[in-house]
Chains A and B, each alone.
Chain A
């Protein structure tokens, strides 16, 4: 003993502290949300429609609206994002000007604040195209927002593919498309799912852009063209307009649980797939 100097221990302590702060922040925020949220939480809160602007009743329509909007965003963004990633990594020549432009655009899109997308969605989709405040306008806006994340993560997943896989497949006489479908995409799937999880987190948490494009109607949406209020928007309204802070925390609780469930399911399916 005695080989570890005091300085080493001190530095070790600093790094340990960084880890501890991360855990501490997460535990205290989630703990606080759960502790306050659980007070209003019951079956009625989850399964019933809100009454009196949300000061009574439940949040059921906002849960359904959140799921619809997120699902629509994914249905639009995943094929386009993964498609762009496959184009960039498998088809485009390194000298391609267009590929350079696609990369630059994806990067720029990623850096634009969501409210700008919301403003664009409001002016272009809601007003100019006449889609109104609707699941469709909100879903498209969310899709544009998460597109860079989906593209980037899919790209990175494809990049980690050992180049030998590609050569081996082609040397067996497989076409490029067969190689992409049977070797590259299955290999990249865990990375793509990671991107989807990150995107779901972003979509579920979005508020400002959705108020501008999906509206804040408390009714249960019946079609793509109906307006909708997501849980996060509902939470914002409840807190901001002083309707009920307790119910805002109840909603936050459901949001957190929903995200944890989605993460868990995604991890589970990943383990199944990569077994």
Chain B
């Protein structure tokens, strides 16, 4: 079967003032697969992730060169509507950060800002998104209570439901499990496995076992370079580059 690439980067370079954080990255992200990005702190994996939805632009003094494509359409052009891009490419951050509003309002936040106002339409979206995020059963009877009262794991699934509510095609996750306990982490990993049938997922993780468990492809970043990018099985069993091998066997990092 022909591989379909959902997103691609070509010679992607990102600079923070004079510091070059990415050294020209080429990567093909396959549709309906989980792509994991690993590497030591400061290696550029988060920068790469954040350049896929143009979130790096929010940091003062950032410049980007090269190109990113979504469905073969260039992302870094003046014609691209950043709002539309971020609707298609959702993002889940490291710290589960629910807004200080009710569970319902958190999920309805995205659809509302994109112009959906009808109550029953919003109700449907909220229910569907919470179900897809495996949270519906736990919260269906208290949708109007403050989201901050949920546990950390529930909050992270709520954040995922909030992303799903704007109907994205790609979901970027920046170490989504780093603040979670092992049981919540396991639930999150199950959820990611379920989500990939409908979404393309790119996940940054510090946890190599996690990358090995949940991803189809793995990219190893070091000092702003993509050292190796391959099937997850090949990366972990048969790394081609000495540096990849050193990293995954725990010799540094």
Could you tell me if B95 and A170 are in contact, using CB atoms closer than 8 angstroms? Answer: no
Report whether B83 and A182 are in contact in the complex, using a CB–CB cutoff of 8 Å: no
One of A165, A170, A274 near B97 (C-beta < 8 A):
A165
A170 touches B55 (CB 8 A): yes
Residues of B within 8 A of A170 (CB): 55, 58, 86
Q: B interface, by DSSP: helix, strand, loop or mixed?
A: mixed
Measured CA separation A203–B77 after assembly (Å): 52
Point out the residues of chain B lying under 8 angstroms from A94, CB to CB: 60
Residue pair B109, A182 in contact (C-beta under 8 Å): yes
Contact B99 A168 (CB under 8 A): yes
Q: Of A165, A172, A182, which is within 8 A of B86 by CB?
A: A172
Q: How far is the CA of A93 from the CA of B101 in the complex (A)?
A: 29
B57-108 CB contacts (< 8 Å) to partner A: 58, 60, 83-84, 86-87, 90-91, 93, 95, 97, 99-101
| B-contact 0/1 string along A145-179, CB 8 Å cutoff | 00000000000000000101111111111110010
- Which residues of chain A from 58 to 75 have a CB within 8 Å of any chain B CB? none
Q: Would you call A31 an interface residue if the criterion is a C-beta within 8 Å of the partner chain's C-beta atoms?
A: no
**Residues of B contacting A166 in the complex (Cβ-Cβ under 8 angstroms):** 58
The answer to whether A183 has its CB under 8 Å from any CB of chain B is: yes
Once the chains bind, are B114 and A167 in contact (CB under 8 Å)?
A: no
B162 at the interface (CB under 8 A from A): yes
B215 at interface, CB cutoff 8 A: no
Could you mark each residue 77-100 of chain A with 1 if its beta carbon is under 8 Å from any beta carbon of chain B, else 0? 000000000000000011100000
Question: With contacts A164-B93, A178-B113 known, is A173 near B99, CB below 8 A?
Answer: no
Report if B159 contacts A (CB, 8 A). Answer: yes
Q: What band does the interface of chain A fall in when counting residues whose beta carbon is under 8 Å from B?
A: 20 to 34
A95, A164, A186, A274 interface centre (most CB from chain B within 10 Å): A164
Interface residues on B, range: 20 to 34
- Tell me if B14 is interfacial: C-beta within 8 Å of chain A: no
Given contacts A162-B97, A173-B83, A173-B84, contact A168 B113 (CB under 8 A): no
Given contacts A164-B95, A187-B100, contact A173 B114 (CB under 8 A): yes
Least distance between A175 CB and chain B CB atoms (Å)? 6
Across the interface, which residues of B come within 8 angstroms of A187, CB to CB? 100
Please state if B113 and A165 are interface contacts (CB–CB under 8 Å): no
Chain B residues within an 8 Å CB radius of A165: 97, 99
B163 touches A172 (CB 8 A): yes
1/0 contact trace for B139-175 toward A, CB 8 Å? Answer: 0000000000000000000010011001000000000
Residues of A within 8 A of B (CB): 93-95, 162, 164-175, 178, 182-183, 186-187, 274
Additional A-B contacts beyond A168-B91, A169-B109, A186-B100 (11; CB < 8 A) = A164-B93, A165-B97, A168-B99, A168-B162, A170-B86, A172-B109, A172-B113, A173-B83, A173-B113, A174-B113, A274-B100
What are 23 A-B pairs at a CB distance below 8 A?
Answer: A162-B95, A164-B93, A164-B95, A167-B55, A167-B91, A168-B93, A168-B159, A169-B109, A170-B55, A170-B58, A171-B55, A171-B90, A172-B90, A172-B113, A173-B84, A173-B86, A173-B87, A174-B109, A175-B83, A178-B113, A183-B99, A186-B101, A274-B100
Please list the 6 inter-chain residue pairs (A to B) with the smallest Cβ-Cβ separation, ordered nearest first.
A164-B97, A171-B91, A173-B87, A173-B86, A172-B110, A173-B83
